[in-house]
């Protein structure tokens, strides 16, 4: 039996780890549109259009589209979310100043594309004193199990967040 193709979108603020996550996870060469940036503090490159990768998850071939984080590219959030069955929102656990922007992305995408979503909080490995997943869940008014703490550079960790999202996608599809 052929696998079902599923599109998911990954979004979140600048530097949350979107490009890193897709590079960590993808089983095929990634499409990446990072350019040198002088505007983003603390990193040399930023995504200007999209990232794309794929992962085989049993019955599903998951096509992963990553958005730019910078607000000047916000039109891409909508473009890339079209046809997606789920949203993985990355939130850097040590940058609460970015949480309002993450909330804005979440509201923007889910109001136009009402799909299941999971928050993956990143950077716990390098910022152990950052916000814990349960506190981030509370900030976003979500149940604790809707926030998964990850290290965007660790394959198993990233895979667990995508599997968590895919469970929600499966429930939504079977309820429809």
Contacts with ligand GTP, residue ranges (CB under 6 A): 12, 14-20, 40, 43, 46-47, 68-69, 122-123, 125-126, 151-153
CB 53 within 8 A of CB 23: yes
CA 120 to CA 174: how far, in whole Å?
A: 24
Residue 34 corresponds to which tokens in the numbers above? 């990072």
Please choose which of ligand GTP, Mg ion, none residue 17 contacts, taking the beta carbon within 5 to 8 angstroms, the exact cut-off set by kind.
ligand GTP
Q: Name the region of 57 (left: φ>0; alpha: ψ -120 to 50; beta: rest).
A: beta
Name the minimum Å distance from CB 26 to ligand GTP.
13
Per-residue mark of binding to Mg ion, 78-97 (x: CB under 5 A) = --------------------
Closest to ligand GTP by CB, 17 or 116: 17
Closest to ligand GTP by CB, 60 or 164: 164
Q: Which residue bears the tokens 């979140």?
A: 12
Please choose which of ligand GTP, Mg ion, none residue 11 contacts, taking the beta carbon within 5 to 8 angstroms, the exact cut-off set by kind.
none
CB 13 within 8 A of CB 102: yes
- Considering only 11, 26, 47, 157, the residue that binds Mg ion (CB under 5 A) is 47
Closest to Mg ion by CB, 11 or 19: 19
Torsional sign, CA 140, 144, 150, 152: negative
Cβ neighbours of 164 (radius 10 Å): 18
In angstroms, the first-to-last Cα distance of the chain is: 23
Closest to ligand GTP by CB, 22 or 60: 22
Q: Is 26 in the site for Mg ion (CB under 5 A)?
A: no
The number of residues that bind Mg ion (CB under 5 A) is 3
């Amino acid at each position: 039996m052929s696998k079902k193709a599923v599109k998911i979108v990954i979004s979140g603020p600048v530097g949350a780890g979107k490009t890193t996550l897709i590079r960590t996870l993808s089983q095929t060469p990634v499409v990446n549109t990072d350019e040198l940036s002088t505007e983003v503090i603390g990193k040399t490159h930023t995504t200007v259009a999209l990232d794309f990768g794929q992962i085989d998850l049993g019955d599903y071939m998951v096509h992963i589209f990553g958005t730019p984080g910078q607000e000047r590219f916000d039109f891409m959030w909508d473009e890339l979310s079209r046809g997606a069955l789920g949203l993985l929102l990355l939130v850097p656990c040590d940058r609460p100043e970015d949480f309002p922007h993450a909330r804005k992305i979440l509201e923007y995408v889910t109001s136009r594309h009402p799909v299941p979503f999971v928050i993956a909080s990143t950077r716990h490995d390098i910022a152990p004193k950052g916000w814990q997943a349960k506190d981030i869940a509370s900030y976003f008014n979500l149940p604790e199990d809707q926030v998964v703490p990850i290290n965007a550079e660790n394959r198993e960790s990233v895979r667990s967040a995508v599997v968590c999202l895919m469970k929600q996608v499966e429930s939504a599809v079977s309820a429809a």
